[in-house]
Amino acid sequence: MNILSDRQKLLGTETAFETLAKAKKLEAEGKDIVHLEIGEPDFDTPGHIKAAAKIALDQGYTHYGPSPGQMELRETIARHQTERQGYNVSPENIIVTPGGKPVMFFTMLALINPGDEVIYPNPGFPIYESMINYVGGVPKPLKLNESSKFNADIDELESLITERTRLIIVNSPNNPCGSVIPDEDLKRISHIADSNDIMVLSDEIYKDMYYDGLEHCSITKFGETKNRTIILDGFSKSYAMTGWRLGYGVFPDFMVDDVSKLMTNSVSCTSVFIQMAGIEALNGPQDSVKEIMEEFTIRRTLIVDGLNNLKGIKCTMPKGAFYAFPNIRNTGMSSKEFSDRALYECGVALLPGTAFGEFGEGYIRVSFANSSKNLLEAISRISKIL
């Protein structure tokens, strides 16, 4: 019997979790696996944030809270965003969510009618495409080109605009490519959105993760785009808090009540004692963010150099996040064949580029959220299938 809705058949997934499950199964069978598949910092959540959660539990923050989030946290986030974005962000526009991911879901549910078109980066985070399909939207992939350091051609973006275009998704720094959208391109995208009355979802979850002294620039800095932009952000990456499930969106005025209703309808509210720990994460010492990036900087060189020394592999240096996205075409293998052989023949779990969309063929994604020792081990193992 299959009584699933038609809509359900449209839902995609995030392959990272599937690959992790396969790798764990192999480990349970006694195989040694190097994990380069999952997108989470391999550091522990800083002690002062854990301590704040424990105190909040003891203080009784164990009941339902307001659907859009604890006002104290929304105020803290608003101050943080005001500082980072350079314009005044009001606590009223913040909705706290269990992780950054629901912001994608809620944005699509609230904005997209069947047949509405959504432009999104490809290769890109797979949940964008999955959610667009799920709500009946029409996915319009915007190719990120290796020749432009995995950035899009903005003329091409412009050519994708039709009267049905409702939303443009930007993600900088980008998962899986580690690319950073140049300010000039953001300015042009902002102009396109403003002049065509198109909403923008700006996924800024990696905004603390830049290399070579680069600094974060949000599309909301240009034109009037901040009034039509949903900023997706959260605590998962910057504070190594993936398992806590704490994120938020900065929503334009007209969306706030309806997205709060979506929170009420789906999860009621984000776990309250965890929200209290979020206040500590933003207000407390920021050394851990710096330390994480110092370590990632060392590993980035190690993995990119290591990959470039392998026959048939060519890897661009990422400018942000903690992913390398090497071109493997000259190995003669497809992305899937490469990642399957890496897992089953050498015990290295990584993702095929196609897990991030059709334009990911010919690439693999390597998360360098693992120790330098394990990264070197992975390179040495991969060399055996080449």
Residues near ligand PLP (CB under 6 A)? 39, 99-101, 125, 171, 175, 203, 205, 234, 236, 242, 247
294 Cβ neighbours under 8 A, 6+ residues apart? none
Residue 297: exposure state from Cβ atoms within 10 A (0-12, 13-18, ≥19)? middle
User: Which residue, 123, 22, 27, 31, is CA-closest to 364?
Assistant: 123
Taking the complex as a whole, how short is the minimal distance between the CB of residue 179 and ligand PLP, in angstroms? 12
Residue 13 Cα to chain centre, angstroms: 14
Please give the backbone phi and psi of residue 351, each rounded to the nearest 5 degrees, phi first: -115, 140
Q: Closest approach of Cβ 162 to ligand PLP, in Å?
A: 25
**Closest distance between ligand PLP and the C-beta of residue 140, in Å?**
18
Q: In whole angstroms, what is the distance from residue 201 CA to residue 129 CA?
A: 13
Residue 162 is which amino acid? T
In the complex, least distance from residue 382 CB atom to ligand PLP, rounded to whole angstroms = 23
Write the CB contacts of 372 (distance below 8 Å, at least 6 apart in sequence).
298, 299, 302
Q: How far is the CB of 312 from ligand PLP (least distance, A)?
A: 27
**How far is the C-alpha of 180 from the C-alpha of 171, rounded, in Å?**
8
Q: Pick the closer one to ligand PLP by CB: 202 or 331.
A: 202
Element (DSSP H or E) covering residue 248: strand 247-250
Spatial strand order in the sheet of 351-352:
323-324, 364-367, 351-352
Q: What is the amino acid identity at position 117?
A: E
Nearer to ligand PLP, 14 or 146 (CB): 14
What's the closest the beta carbon of residue 59 comes to ligand PLP, in angstroms? Answer: 25
Q: How far is the CB of 11 from ligand PLP (least distance, A)?
A: 17
- For the CB of residue 367, give the shortest distance to ligand PLP in the complex, in Å: 10
Q: Residue 310: which residues within 8 A CB-CB, separation 6 or more?
A: 379, 382, 383, 386
Q: How far apart are CA 157 and CA 192, in angstroms?
A: 9
Residue 169 or 382: the one with the smaller Cβ distance to ligand PLP is 169
**Which of 323, 338 has the CB closer to ligand PLP?**
323
H or E stretch covering 140:
strand 138-145
Residue 78: CB atoms within 10 Å: 19
Nearer to ligand PLP, 347 or 360 (CB): 360
Positive or negative, the Cα torsion across 264, 128, 250, 296?
Answer: positive
> Cβ of residue 87: shortest distance to ligand PLP, in angstroms?
23
Q: In the complex with ligand PLP, which residue's Cβ is closer, 61 or 235?
A: 235
Q: Which one, 111 or 205, has the nearer CB to ligand PLP? A: 205
Q: Which CB, 85 or 242, lies closer to ligand PLP?
A: 242
Euclidean distance between CA atoms 231 and 241, whole angstroms: 19
The gap from C-alpha 307 to its chain's centroid, in whole angstroms, comes to: 23
When CB distances to ligand PLP are compared, the closest residue is 99
Nearer to ligand PLP (CB atom), residue 249 or residue 347: 249
